Structure formats: C-alpha cells, structure tokens
Structure 1
Amino acid sequence: MNSGAGGVLPSVGPGEILPFSAARHPDKIALVVGDTCLTYQELDRMSDAVAASLRSRGIGARDVCSLYAQNCWEWIVAYHGILKAGAIVNPVNVMLTGPELAFVLSDCEAEALFFGASQAATVANVLGEMSALELVCQLAGDVGEGIGAVTFTELLTAPIDAAPAGNPAPGPADLCSIGYTSGTTGHPKGAMQSQRSVLLNCALTATMHGRNSDDVVVTALPSAHVYGNVAVNSTFLAGGTVVLMERFDAGEALLLLEGDRATLFEGVPAMYSMMLAHPTFETTDLSNLRASTIGGQTFSPELLDRWQTRAPGPMLELWGMTELSGLGTTHAVHAPPVAGSIGVALPGLEIKIGAIDGTEGGVPTGEHGELLVRGPLVMLGYYGRPDTTAEALTDDGWLRTGDVAYVDETGHYFIVDRLKDMIVTAGYNVYPAEIERVIGAHPDVALVAVGGRPDPVKGEIAVAYVVPAPAAQLLPEDIIEHCRAHLAAYKRPREVVFVDALPTTSSGKLMRRKLADLEVADSDQGVVHAR
C-alpha cells in the first residue's frame, strides 16, 4: 500500500486515501462534525489506532466489520480503520430494525460491530443471536448495561503497530465492502465491491466534479450510503474539507452553507425542496457554491431554477447504485449542462440501453429501454447468492440496473423510472417519475410521489401523494387541472392524496412501496382524497 509520500496517488483501495492526503496536508482541517474539527493527520492517526486495535483482537484480512450508526466523526474514523486493518467494511442503514440488522450481520458473517448510542437499544435486542461477533464497540456515549461493548475511546488509545506477519495487504481485486440493497422485495442483498471499484469511484467522481483542496463540501447524506461515502472520500482524496451533518435539517444546512462558505453541497431532491421552502432561503448567501450535486430520484426543472437564483454554480445531476459503489453517471462540472439528464458515463464505464424484455441487443437512440452498465465499478456479485448474481449480471459482464432510460445523440442519459415502479393502466405504460416532474413544478407543491393502486377496470391507476408548500391553499382539483395541461389523459393521476410527509429512506429517497400506507391516515391529519 502506498503511503502517499512523494505525491504517489492511491492505487489499491480507499484505505490509502487518508495516508495520501495526510502526507500532503497534515495540518489541514479534513472533517467538521458539529463542534469537532479534525485534521488529516488526526484522522490518519486515529484510524491507524483503530486498525491496530482490530488486529490485536485477531480481526483483519477477509473479516467483515459492520458499521451501524448515524453520521459522526467516529463513523468516518472506524471506516478507515477497518480498511487499514485489511478487513471488509459493511455499512449498515441506521433505519434497519432489530430483525433486519440481525439478518444483515448473520448474512455477511460479521466479526465486529460498531454502533452509535442511538442504536444501542436495537443492538442490545439482537446480540443474543450474534455469537460470531468478536468485537462489539459503541462509537460514542456511555455503554448501557448488558451490552458488553467496548468504547471507541478504548480503541483509539491502542498502541499503533505494524501489520503482523501473515496478514497481507489487500490487492485491487480483493473484497473491500459489502453494501446491502434496500430490500424492496424479500431480504436485502449484499453487493460486494472490490478495493479498486470503491477507490476508482471516488477518484472519478473527484475528477468529474473538479474537486480540489480548496473545496468545502457540506453534506447530510448518510455515510453508510454509497452516495454519502463517495461525497466524503472523493473530497478527502482531493484534500478538501467535509462538513458532515449528523442528519439533515434545512435551516441548519443553509446556515452551514453560508457560514462555512461552502463550495459544494451534496444532496437529494427532498433536501433541496425543504431548503427552498425554508423561510431563510431567500436571505441566505450561497454565492460561494461553485456547484451542487443532486441524485437519488427525479425532480422538477423548476426546483433547479429556484435553487440557482441563490446558488449560481451548476447543478450536477447524477445517478448511481449500491452495485456500482457509488456514481455511474454524472455531469462534468465544466461541460455544458443538459437539463433533465443524469449526465454521461464515468470514464472507463460502458453504458448501453437494452431492450426492456431482456432480449439481446440494444435499442435505437431516444428509445426507452433498460440501463445496462459494464466496467471496473460493477460489483463482484451478491454475497453468498450466486443465483441472484446470475440474474443481475450477464455472462459478458453487463449489470442489469432495473432502470428504464434512454440516451440522446450527444451520449447523455435520461432516467425514465424504475422498471418495477412502472404502472400499467388500461394497457398503457405509465411512469411515476414523469408525473412527479409535472406535479412538482406546481408552485404550491413542496414534495410529491406517485404510486400505483389496483383497479378492477384499468388494472392499475396512478395516485399522487402531495405535500403542499407551507401556507398553500391547494385543492385536489388544482393538481388534476395542472396535469391536464401537461400530461396525456392516460398518464394523469386518478386520485390525489394530501399528506404531511412522504416515506423516505435514510438517504432521502422516496419509498414508493410504502405510499399506500399513507391512505389509512385520518382526514383530521390533513389527508384528502379526490377522484
């Protein structure tokens, strides 16, 4: 493993990133979380101590270490310590319940578990099932009785030693991380990423976004999510500063963007919508933002236009997957923008549009099909699931993404929707994302999601779930009429449901499969139906 001395770029895996940047910028602030500011040298030394502590407990090459905590500086240190020990990182979504956590830990055969204080109760309820765990460590706060966990402080005070004999450093093709998918059907699957793919995604993202040592990046994306991981580590690779929010709050985000003179904000459409709706948005100075990134789901062009009235830098729309260890496409920061597009393929990544029915060959430019990806960012497969891997990866290495997309004549890609979210109404294919873009452009709409509902006549109908903007006087008929001018009759929602909030993942992505649950809410809670 290269130490980074002499300016030699990391070449094996993400465990080289901190040594590399610490050698170039030892005293520069690398990470800010609340009142805690850590330099590259401090991050490097602390992660070295974590690595030494793991090795002293016999945890190293090919052992899996799970991270189950909200954003915090300890999470970042533990992540890099695990990698430096030669172990495999398993980032876990903090929204998982006890049974879901137990499944993930068992499925990936975890040897160690790092958890946050807020997750302690959940962890305590599953530890009895986890006899294989060699180490249980609470990242912050006092350890509760009965858990038997060590504190993170104990790991940080361990003497730093060299890797013991017989514990070889990983190679580029070796397993680096196991990231579990959201599990929309059945149990989640663990996508295995190589050392090369995780490092390369950070490097290519930094390149496409023009990241540099002067950057100050504000993000509330979960560290356990591939988008959040790349946002942090691509910035570390470039020597910039990451301002990491424990969780997203619109008012706090605007304060940080202005107060820290941020050059980049990384987020999902829901975050931008909430900041746009915040009363301080119009008075917040965002002029230092040289760019913003947005991914995770569709959004209306009006959202982009309103954001750029305060933040003049380009909005870089991107697309990625757990199975790609992060981004697959993005706009380059200095390239002409193409509205509505997710950009172009990252360098070295092949992308094509295949037939939706899975038959061989591609489809013509501009025609809808399934987005297929091949190259060094594609996962090694799903952990312990050869049959599921064979369904996702073709014999010649193409990853079936499950996204409906098309490409234009300039090579820019456009996501239409998830294949599984497509609504078939009276024989017509209807894509929720298209309806969401139209409804999201209404000035009185803060957030919107569209889902399908069974219908005895048409098979399925589209239902729009709308969060009105603050103080808006909005009626269901207003939404229907707005859609009438922009959508063909078969695409229009047949019902509008007003709600206070939409179900989202920890990264802010809409969870369409849970939309129907909103309809059981009582009308006194602000839910209105209209046909």
Structure 2
Amino acid sequence: MTTGPRTTPAALWRAAEQFGSNEAVADGSERVTYTELLDRVRTAARALMAKGVQAGDRVAIWAPNTYHWVEAFLAAQYAGATLVPISTRYTGHEALDILERTKTKVLVVPDRFLKADRLADVLKAAGEGGIPALELVVRTPSDDPASGVPTTAFPGGEILEWDQITAAAEPVSVEEADARAHAVSPDDVADILFTSGTTGKSKGVMTAHRQTVGIADAWADCAEVDDKDRYLVINPFFHTFGYKAGIMVCILRGATIVPAAVFDVPTIMTMIADEKISVLPGAPTIHQTILDFPTRGDYNLSSLRVAITGAAAVPVVLVERLQSELGYDAVITAYGQTEAVVVTMCRTDDDPVTVSTSSGRAIPGMEVKIGEQGEILVRGENIMLGYLDDPESTRKTIDEDGWLHTGDVGVLDERGYLDITDRLKDMFISNGFNVYPAEVENTLARIDSVAEAAVIGIPDERAGEVGRAYVVVKPGATLTADEVIAFCKERLAGFKIPREVRIVDGLPRNPSGKVLKNDLREGKA
C-alpha cells in the first residue's frame, strides 16, 4: 500500500501540492482545482471555527452529491470536527434520531432537495423541544432555482447561507485554521456512519482518520486509479461507497470527482461523454440499465476504463457485456460493510468468471477467514473503532482477537477469493442499500391496529430484493395494505418501505415462539 497522509487534512494538502492544477471537482458549471479546493475548504473551516466549532464536535451533512458536500465534509474535518453523514432518503424522524444521538452541533442541509424542505422536516419531527445540541445550520442552495427565498427559520440557532461563508470566516485567520488542521491526529474519529442494526436500532460506526484514508488508499491501489482518471460518483456521498471509495480515493490520487446528484440514465450517459469519465462505480443495476438503454448508441462512452460493482450478484454475462460492448479494460467486484468499508476486491486483471463468482480477495491491510457456521470474519487496521455509545454491541461484533464478525456467510477458494453465499441475519439488499427487517418491523409495531408483523426480502428484477411485510391485525381492528405503506412512508426511507404487504391471520413459529422466516420465504403463511 502507498505510504502517505493519514488524516484528511493531510491528504488535501498533498493533493494541492502534487495535483494543484488538476480539476478536483467538476459539478456542472462549477470547476474547482485542487489548489482552489484547499482554499475553499480552509475558508469554510475558518467560518465553522468562527461559529464556535471545536475539535471533536459533530458536523452532520444531510445533502445530495454536489460540490457543497465535498467542501463541507473536508472543512468539518479540517476544523477537527467529526463528520456525520445522513442519508438523503431519510425522513425527518430518522434524521432527528441521528442528530440527537450524535449531539450534532452543525447541520449542513440544502434549502430544497427533490422539492422537500429537509430543515423544516427535521424541525417538525423535533417538535417544541427542538434539537438541543444543534446550534448552526449551514444552508446550501436549492436544487430547484424556482424555489424562491428560503423561509424556514431555526428557532434557538443560527442559519448561515452558503454564500455567507467567506464573510463569516473573517474573524479566524488562515494560520489558526491550519493549526487546527495540523492538530488532527490519525487516531481522531473522522466520521460516524449509521448502519441499521438487527435489533431495529441503528448503530453509529466510528472510524479514525487513518482508517478512512487507509481504506481509500487500498481501494485506489486495487482499482489502479491515478491523476488522469475522471471518477463519476453516482453512489451517495453519505454512503461509504460514495464517500470513502469515491471522494477520498480521488483526493488521494488526484483524480477528478464528478458528482451525480440523481440517477437518470440519459443524464448519466451525457455526463460520461461530456466529462470523459473513466471510472464508474455502482450497483449492478446501474451498469445493467446503461447497457440496456435503447439509445445508448447515441452517446460516446469510449472513455470508460474501469467499472466497479458489488452489493448484489453479478452475472458473468454482465461482466462480458461491459467489456465487449462498453470497452471497459477491467470490471471489478468488491465486498464490504460500513464496519469495515471494503474487505475484498477483485483486481484489474481478474477474468470475467472470477469477477462474477466472487467478491475478490482481501485488500491490503485486511485478513479474511471463515468462522463457525461459515461466517465471514475480518481483521485488519481499517475495521471500525466501535459503535457509538454501544460497547456491548462492539464487543459482540469484534472479538478478543480483533476479528470482526460480519454476519455474512461465505467460502474462500484456494486463491483466497471470497464467495458470499448467505446471511446469518435476515438483512437484505435493496438497490444496493442494506435493509434490516427488525427496523421495519419495529416501525410497523407502532401502528395501533397491528398485533405483530414480520418482514422478509423477496427477489426483484430491478432492485435485487424488496421488502414484503406480513401483518397480523388486532382482533376487532381493520387495516389495509395501503394504510400500512402510507404509515411507513412518513417514517422510513424509500428503500426500507415494504413493496408488498400481506394481511394474515398469524405467523409461522417454532416451538420457542420464533417466527419462521424461511417458511414465509417459501410461501407457508
């Protein structure tokens, strides 16, 4: 693995020094070189410091993939703060839960995104009590220019508009900001990313700077990313795939970050052609959709060099078509989870069968072995520090010998390549996102007329898997499938909402009372 910076500020300094004139970010008409990115980040960090942000404070970003996200995240960590990414798919209730549990001091949020006022949503969810720790909202521009002047107020706190950052930075000198950034240690917590737990309560995965940088470095090595690459980041920045295997990879190698705020196939193909995209990561459905698009031939996609995919089964024919029809030099699959980010990856010279039948071999700095019940165990310098305020779950997940218990089942071949065969837990993956049935079941339990519920994943041609909920209604009560879905839409991100709801008289159980989800999958309900 390349020896280099071990904090994100250090990575940014090196990028400005080595790749200063390279485009760091190409976001529509916004073009920013690495030299300019450092200047912007330093200014934003000064503004945060002027507003009272101290080392170790939490700064949350609840925003789509734009240059604002890149600058805000780097500025937060430049000021010594810890980043808390929030899914743009989350409702106000879900975002509030994360803000409260992390005691977030600053929230970066757009005025509008996809016609929704996120700040209004989270303040409504908070109610009269407000959000005690939250002191500052940094509001980025709307994705809808016609939305008009922002109207949402923030009682008890301050709103800083994005175009006010330079003025807000004036009280703090460049030297003060640089001193704060230099004080950031490789062992400081860089970020807290939330991943749903099987108990239904999300867990905050804490990662140090050395790990966030280290995992991106290993990824960049395996994918052979360099300063000539232009990297289209469709994967959300709030996800490790977009943040650590996207933004950070580019910063470490001097590649250009090209953010995609929404996934629209003609728009994506236009971006590939116009921006001469060479690296395209994404779930298999993204690549499949591009291949099958009826007017694909109208777009010049010849710049594509490396495709990176994972989070679902990858057919051999997909790999072969990507190479033969789109001219990719390499197609790479990978396996990871928030607690370890990236565990295994294929390499650029692996053949199509290896790519489609495995998730690659351990990346530099990681060990993989198969434990009891075929569970995949992972150990290495880049696995998480632990779960936020949850030492018990941390001990259950990382054993005394340092092995992270993934909950996934797999086999290793003689070459050390990993094939994931099943899951110990009931989690399923919808459109590349993990869905934990217990979390959905806990939401369903809040419906007054629900006696009990069980959720499973069922195959779906487009999403990979979607949820199906089996709901038992209380005696004398009435409930429809539409009412269940409407309730979920107010409280759950879209990918968690069951696609199907079946009202049933009862759930199959074993003698100890545990719901037999295999019976549900086999239609015995």
Structure 1 contact 221–227 (Cα < 8 Å) conserved: yes
* Aligned counterpart in structure 1 of residue 375 of structure 2, from 343, 366, 370: 370
* Aligned counterpart in structure 2 of residue 149 of structure 1, from 148, 159, 168: 159
Answer yes or no: is 1:405 the counterpart of 2:405: no
1:179 alignment partner in structure 2: 193
| Most deviating of 76-85 and 265-274 | 265-274
Shift in alpha-carbon separation, 1:464–1:10, aligned structure 2, 3 A: closer
- Deviations along 1:214-257, one digit per CA (max 9) or x if unpaired, are 10111211011001012122012111112111111111111222
State the shift of 1:154 in Å.
Answer: 1.7
| Most deviating of 375-384 and 230-239 | 230-239
| In 1, Cα distance between equivalents of 2:200 and 2:59 | 24
Structure 2 contact 53–79 (Cα < 8 Å) conserved: yes
2:357 alignment partner in structure 1: 340
Answer yes or no: is 1:97 the counterpart of 2:91: yes
Return the TM-score normalized by structure 2: 0.76
Q: Give the 3-state SS of the residue equivalent to 1:163 in structure 2.
A: helix
1:327 alignment partner in structure 2: 342
1:209 alignment partner in structure 2: 223
| Most deviating of 392-401 and 17-26 | 17-26
- Deviations along 1:419-464, one digit per CA (max 9) or x if unpaired, are 2238xxxxxxxxx89xx9xxxxxxxxxxxx9x9xxxxxxx999954
Structure 1 contact 286–311 (Cα < 8 Å) conserved: yes
Q: Give the 3-state SS of the residue equivalent to 1:304 in structure 2.
A: helix
State the shift of 1:311 in Å.
Answer: 2.1
Answer yes or no: is 1:25 the counterpart of 2:19: yes
Answer yes or no: is 1:395 the counterpart of 2:400: yes
- Deviations along 1:272-298, one digit per CA (max 9) or x if unpaired, are 222223212244333322210002222
Structure 2 contact 375–408 (Cα < 8 Å) conserved: yes
Q: Give the 3-state SS of the residue equivalent to 2:318 in structure 1.
A: helix
Shift in alpha-carbon separation, 1:336–1:50, aligned structure 2, 3 A: same
- Deviations along 1:464-493, one digit per CA (max 9) or x if unpaired, are 44459xxxxxxxxxxxxxxxxxxxxxxxxx
Provide structure 1 residue ranges, at least 5 long, that are not aligned to the other structure: 1-7, 357-368, 423-431, 437-448, 452-458, 469-508, 521-529
State the shift of 1:131 in Å.
Answer: 1.8
| In 1, Cα distance between equivalents of 2:137 and 2:496 | 35
* Aligned counterpart in structure 1 of residue 368 of structure 2, from 351, 362, 365: 351
| In 2, Cα distance between equivalents of 1:46 and 1:261 | 25
1:38 alignment partner in structure 2: 32
Q: Give the 3-state SS of the residue equivalent to 1:322 in structure 2.
A: coil
- Deviations along 1:373-418, one digit per CA (max 9) or x if unpaired, are 1111100100000111111111111111111111111111111233
2:257 alignment partner in structure 1: 242
Considering only aligned residues, what root-mean-square deviation do their CA atoms show, in Å?
3.1
Residue identity matched to 1:47: V
Structure 1 contact 48–81 (Cα < 8 Å) conserved: yes
| In 2, Cα distance between equivalents of 1:255 and 1:185 | 43
State the shift of 1:513 in Å.
Answer: 7.6
Shift in alpha-carbon separation, 1:231–1:168, aligned structure 2, 3 A: closer
2:110 alignment partner in structure 1: 116
1:318 alignment partner in structure 2: 334
Shift in alpha-carbon separation, 1:268–1:177, aligned structure 2, 3 A: same
Structure 1 contact 354–371 (Cα < 8 Å) conserved: yes
Structure 2 contact 76–82 (Cα < 8 Å) conserved: yes
| In 2, Cα distance between equivalents of 1:282 and 1:187 | 46
1:276 alignment partner in structure 2: 291
Q: Give the 3-state SS of the residue equivalent to 1:149 in structure 2.
A: strand
| In 2, Cα distance between equivalents of 1:34 and 1:61 | 33
2:132 alignment partner in structure 1: 131
Shift in alpha-carbon separation, 1:512–1:97, aligned structure 2, 3 A: closer
| In 1, Cα distance between equivalents of 2:181 and 2:10 | 17
State the shift of 1:187 in Å.
Answer: 1.9
| In 1, Cα distance between equivalents of 2:139 and 2:23 | 25
Return the TM-score normalized by structure 1: 0.75
| In 2, Cα distance between equivalents of 1:273 and 1:184 | 30
Q: Give the 3-state SS of the residue equivalent to 1:279 in structure 2.
A: coil
- Higher RCO structure (Cα 8 Å, ≥6 apart): 2
Residue identity matched to 1:75: W
Residue identity matched to 1:250: V
Residue identity matched to 2:192: I
Shift in alpha-carbon separation, 1:129–1:297, aligned structure 2, 3 A: farther
| In 1, Cα distance between equivalents of 2:17 and 2:246 | 21
Structure 1 contact 102–126 (Cα < 8 Å) conserved: yes
Shift in alpha-carbon separation, 1:75–1:166, aligned structure 2, 3 A: closer
Structure 2 contact 307–331 (Cα < 8 Å) conserved: yes
| Most deviating of 302-311 and 93-102 | 302-311
State the shift of 1:258 in Å.
Answer: 2.2
| In 1, Cα distance between equivalents of 2:86 and 2:502 | 26
Structure 1 contact 172–196 (Cα < 8 Å) conserved: yes
State the shift of 1:95 in Å.
Answer: 1.2
* Aligned counterpart in structure 1 of residue 238 of structure 2, from 224, 229, 236: 224
Shift in alpha-carbon separation, 1:279–1:404, aligned structure 2, 3 A: same
Structure 2 contact 61–86 (Cα < 8 Å) conserved: yes
Shift in alpha-carbon separation, 1:510–1:519, aligned structure 2, 3 A: farther
